[in-house]
Structure 1
Amino acid sequence: MRQSQIRLSISTHGQALYEVTQDVARWLAETRIEIGLLTLFCRHTSASLLINENAAPAVQRDLLQWLSASVPEGSQYEHDSEGPDDMPAHIRTMLTGVSINVPVAGGRMELGTWQGIYLVEHRRTPHQREIVAHVLGE
């Protein structure tokens, strides 16, 4: 059994979904691990990870719209240390999650045809985000 780990750095430019599928796939290929389990972990409380459709950009827009409508910004939150998008970002992260697991076979992620991996930036301002990728296998 072998394992490998890396920290991937992603520059964001405000609220959006940033696809990281190819970045993860390139690193995974370098590990030469053929079969195993890949874990991705976002090291932040106001950004998250998800797997969703990567073919239609409308899906990304609809997801962001839904998150904004479900967890609106406003003065209803006690925690607003970094502005009105601070606490909503934490709640959106809680809803979407900070880690995902993907099976690996043939040295590749076993994602479906239309699936992509996204870092979701929940803050309005640019940030430098980190994802820890860890693969365990042979």
Structure 2
Amino acid sequence: MKQVQNIFEIHTHGQGLYEFSPEVSDWVGLQGLTCGLLTLFIRHTSASLTIQENADPDVQFDLNNFFCRFVEENPKLYRHTCEGPDDMPAHIRSALTDVQLSIPIVHGSISLGTWQGIYLFEHRKTAHNRQVVAHLMGD
């Protein structure tokens, strides 16, 4: 059994979904495993991870807009406002989505469906440098 880790740095420029499937796929391919499990974990509380459709960019646009409507950015609604009006809503959006993903490795590749991509979901309005820790184990 082999185990390896990596940290992916993802630079965001505001709210939205940022696909990083190609980087993950390339890194997994270099590890020489044929069968295993990849765990991705985001090291932040105001961004999250998701697997979503990567064929039509309207999906990402609509998801982001839905979460902006669903979790209102109104400082009157929250006690935690010291980091700006988008911070507490970003924490809530992160709690409603995922901070960790598990993806099988089959025949040396990440086993995503035809239209699936791995995304960092940025919930803050300003640019951030995000880190996603990857842990790969298998044979």
Same fold by TM-score greater than 0.5: yes
Q: Which residue of 1 aligns with 2:99?
A: 98
Q: Does 1:124 align with 2:125?
A: yes
What's the CA shift for 1:18? 0.3
Show the 5 A alignment for 1:105-116.
105-116=106-117
Aligned residue pair count: 138
Describe the SS at the equivalent of 1:67.
helix
> How much has 1:25 moved relative to structure 2?
0.5
Residue aligning to 1:24:
24
Q: Map 1:1-138 onto structure 2 (within 5 A).
A: 1-75=1-75, 76-138=77-139
Q: CA RMSD in A?
A: 0.6
Please give the alpha-carbon distance, in whole angstroms, between the structure 1 residues aligned to 2:119 and 2:47: 10
In structure 1, distance between residues paired with 2:30 and 2:46 = 30
Identity %: 54
Measure the CA separation in 1 of the matches of 2:72 and 2:23: 31
Structure 1 residues without counterparts, runs of 5 or longer: none
Note the C-alpha offset of 1:81.
1.5
Residue 114 of structure 1, CA deviation: 0.2
Pairwise CA distance, 1:30: 1.1
> What secondary structure sits across from 2:8 in the alignment?
strand
CA-CA distance at 1:92 after TM superposition: 0.3
Query: What's the offset of the Cα at 1:77?
Result: 0.6
What is the SS of the residue equivalent to 1:111? coil
TM-score if structure 1 supplies the norm length?
Answer: 0.98
TM-score by length of 2: 0.98
- Could you tell me which amino acid in structure 1 is paired with residue 37 of structure 2? L
Per-residue CA shift, 1:80-111, capped at 9, x if unaligned?
11100010000000011100000001110110
Output the CA distance in 2 between the equivalents of 1:20 and 1:40: 11
